[in-house]
Structure 1
């Protein structure tokens, strides 16, 4: 499991800031039709939650892909911090409490992976889904609010897996 650095969290926050800035319809439009604008944000948020789940101790190819994406994000962020603003690189971004996924929770993440692949290929929101997953991978293990969101996500997926596979 990769540990996120300040550079990796910076990359995640840059992705989040970029997406929210391009999504923001303005206060007047948002209050006029909030459901339509929230629907545009939903694919990014779904993918963000999926990205968080993939770095919670998932092994195999999915875990390796998430760890690799986190490692690359850490490296990119550290380089940007050093060369962009003269900060130190490689500092750990604090700890968070990890809630491992159960076997059935891991099965649900595998099912979600199949759904994500189909959504990226078929949906017109493919770019938002990719950005959301990348953002979730980088922020899912951070010590901030985004990292703490991973615990209820893991609990929910573990519960869904127990209910789904317990009923079979």
Structure 2
């Protein structure tokens, strides 16, 4: 029976096969990378951890100047998180909207929600799951993260003052290009 070691968002499963220790990282049920072997269980696990760290370093180096994850990272993260039907409908509509721009009210309609408040809550919840999976922190206003920034940016500005001046229900969100690319592939 395989033993499990938690390493960040990964589980490393290790077991002895034919006198040699093997370890492999998993993200949920999905295997990540190759099987690493070692003379000891610790050596095999350390090799798997080093491979995870090296992969993360490559991903972080490929990020843009604002530090937002690449489309490849976003695609993997979207596959790893749970998305409700309403959240999925909002994402699809946002992707297909002209210039990928929609108001909070339009997103609510697309997701089947009665008001922009409900849509903001759901889109924000999805953004939070995505941001946490990506290990990325969105901008915070008054110490509170605006999770939707994991999915989109402000089409007319990115500050809380911009949101308040425009009015939250008419606030225009532009789907991040990395998210659009991830959804298209």
How high is the TM-score relative to the length of structure 2?
Answer: 0.26
Higher relative contact order (CA 8 A, sep 6+): 1
Q: Which has the higher helix share?
A: 1
Structure showing greater Rg: 2
Q: Which has the higher strand share?
A: 2
How high is the TM-score relative to the length of structure 1?
Answer: 0.28
